[in-house]
Amino acid sequence: MEISKYSFGVGDRFGRQGRAQLKALAQAREKGCSIAPAWNKSYREHVIVGTSPGEVRLEADNAVAACGWDGPYYVDADHIGRDNVDGFLSASDFFTFDVADLIGEPAAEADLRGFAGDCRHLCGTVNLPGLDGGIGLTGERIRDVAGKYLAAVHHAAQLYRYVREKKGEGAFITEVSMDETDAPQAPEELLLILKALSDLHVPVQTVAPKFSGEFYKGVDYVGDPEVFRAEFRADLAVIRFAVREFGLPANLKLSIHSGSDKFSLYPVMKNELERCGAGLHLKTAGTTWLEELVGLALSGGEALSIAVEIYCRALERMEELCSPYAAVIDIDPARLPGAEDVRSWSGRAFADALRHDPSSDAYNPHFRQLLHVAYKVAAEMGDRYLDALEDNREVIAENVTMNLYERHIVELFPGIT
């Protein structure tokens, strides 16, 4: 199984927007750009919402059938590890092995020595086509990087072998993610991580490093887009080199996590992808749930009351809701509107504060981020929330499709005419 050149992780907290999401990709295809959808959902999200991987498979299959989608699509077991992989085995055909927690764990001395020996030919300047100056490596730097990442790579290889044993070789896509950690990975670290994955025969097709700057959930990138450009360009060059020199799958590409709403980076990425013809995977998840809230607010009446109630309850439970996401959100409580104010808002005012329109004065990224993590409150409402989605499905679907297509896909992927 080989992942398409361009792919897009749609995610979907409540599993109701599959068709609206797929419609955005169908629009891209009509405009000349083929992008494969991947419904990604992590163990953390399943636990919070109370869903199972089988439901994601069902949603994906149903959306594909309903839309007559005949292109490839995937179901991604997102951020899984040894403790929770079993529940994903039958439903998923894409596995994101998250080994960020093992970064810095000591590796076996023999493994370290063997790896450093195997890398001796990389000492000096590694010339990477498309990257001025190449990458400089010393024996000491190689040992340092191996000391930091080799245990994590061995763990990824164990996870890969475990899933291969259950599902069969070539029956799934392998992603290795290291993004949920403090320090970004420099291009030479990515190079050596890919070398180690190749040595351990992991046919990695997507890799998710951590970039510098902040990738907070549901809001724009925080950092200098030109610094990101240099890093992204170097990583693309590393990947081309690793495919050729280490024999990794020819379609190996970068995967960008917390990828929704990074509006200041999309033109940069699009430009770099065009420059070298590389593929990309971008994961989004929470942005669709926020469009559900936009749609509910705009619908008014009981639907608006539900959106308001979710916010007011989230305000009271901020600490609890934010704690699983502490590293990937940045909320200033002083900038959050009070419950009384929000109760007096029109649906339009609620939607304007929430909607990610950087040019609008009404847009409030703190309000948006709190709602981003508040899906647990909606999950607790059970049928009341799900019935509201059903009752207002048209306006919600319209917002879901428009958000993915116009704000994300058109801005990011090359070739849309």
Give contact residues for Zn ion (rule: CB under 5 A): 179, 257
Q: Burial code of 228-249, b = ≥16 C-beta within 10 A, e = fewer?
A: bbebbbbbbbbbbbbbebeebb
Across 139-250, the runs of DSSP E, i.e. the strands, are: 173-177, 206-208
In the complex, the smallest distance separating the C-beta of residue 361 from Zn ion, rounded to whole angstroms, is 32
In the complex, the smallest distance separating the C-beta of residue 32 from Zn ion, rounded to whole angstroms, is 29
Tokens representing 63 are 């959306």
Instruction: Give the nearer residue to Zn ion in terms of CB position, either 13 or 257.
Output: 257
In the complex, the smallest distance separating the C-beta of residue 205 from Zn ion, rounded to whole angstroms, is 16
In the complex, the smallest distance separating the C-beta of residue 190 from Zn ion, rounded to whole angstroms, is 16
Instruction: Give the nearer residue to Zn ion in terms of CB position, either 180 or 398.
Output: 180
Q: Which residue is nearest to Zn ion (CB)?
A: 257
State the Cα–Cα distance between residues 298 and 393, nearest whole angstrom: 12
Instruction: Give the nearer residue to Zn ion in terms of CB position, either 148 or 257.
Output: 257
Instruction: Give the nearer residue to Zn ion in terms of CB position, either 257 or 281.
Output: 257
Instruction: Give the nearer residue to Zn ion in terms of CB position, either 38 or 298.
Output: 38
In the complex, the smallest distance separating the C-beta of residue 43 from Zn ion, rounded to whole angstroms, is 12
State the Cα–Cα distance between residues 76 and 340, nearest whole angstrom: 40
Instruction: Give the nearer residue to Zn ion in terms of CB position, either 47 or 171.
Output: 47
Instruction: Give the nearer residue to Zn ion in terms of CB position, either 141 or 257.
Output: 257
State the Cα–Cα distance between residues 25 and 215, nearest whole angstrom: 24
State the Cα–Cα distance between residues 360 and 291, nearest whole angstrom: 17
In the complex, the smallest distance separating the C-beta of residue 215 from Zn ion, rounded to whole angstroms, is 9
Strands 253-256 and 206-208: parallel
Distance set, CA 342 to CA 151, 299, 338, 361 (Å): 49, 16, 6, 16
State the Cα–Cα distance between residues 159 and 171, nearest whole angstrom: 15
Strands 135-137 and 124-126: antiparallel
Residue 6 phi, psi (nearest 5)? -110, 135
Instruction: Give the nearer residue to Zn ion in terms of CB position, either 66 or 327.
Output: 327
Other C-beta atoms closer than 10 Å to the C-beta of 346 total: 12
State the Cα–Cα distance between residues 214 and 294, nearest whole angstrom: 25
In the complex, the smallest distance separating the C-beta of residue 45 from Zn ion, rounded to whole angstroms, is 11
Other C-beta atoms closer than 10 Å to the C-beta of 325 total: 17
215 near 221, Cβ under 8 Å?
yes
In the complex, the smallest distance separating the C-beta of residue 286 from Zn ion, rounded to whole angstroms, is 12
State the Cα–Cα distance between residues 168 and 179, nearest whole angstrom: 27
Collapsing DSSP states into helix, strand and coil, what is residue 207?
A: strand
Instruction: Measure the N-to-C terminal CA separation of the chain; round to a whole number of Å.
Output: 29
Kindly report the CA angle at 398 between 14 and 63, in degrees rounded to 5?
A: 50
State the Cα–Cα distance between residues 37 and 404, nearest whole angstrom: 12
Instruction: Give the nearer residue to Zn ion in terms of CB position, either 23 or 210.
Output: 210
Instruction: Give the nearer residue to Zn ion in terms of CB position, either 177 or 364.
Output: 177
In the complex, the smallest distance separating the C-beta of residue 84 from Zn ion, rounded to whole angstroms, is 15
In the complex, the smallest distance separating the C-beta of residue 283 from Zn ion, rounded to whole angstroms, is 6
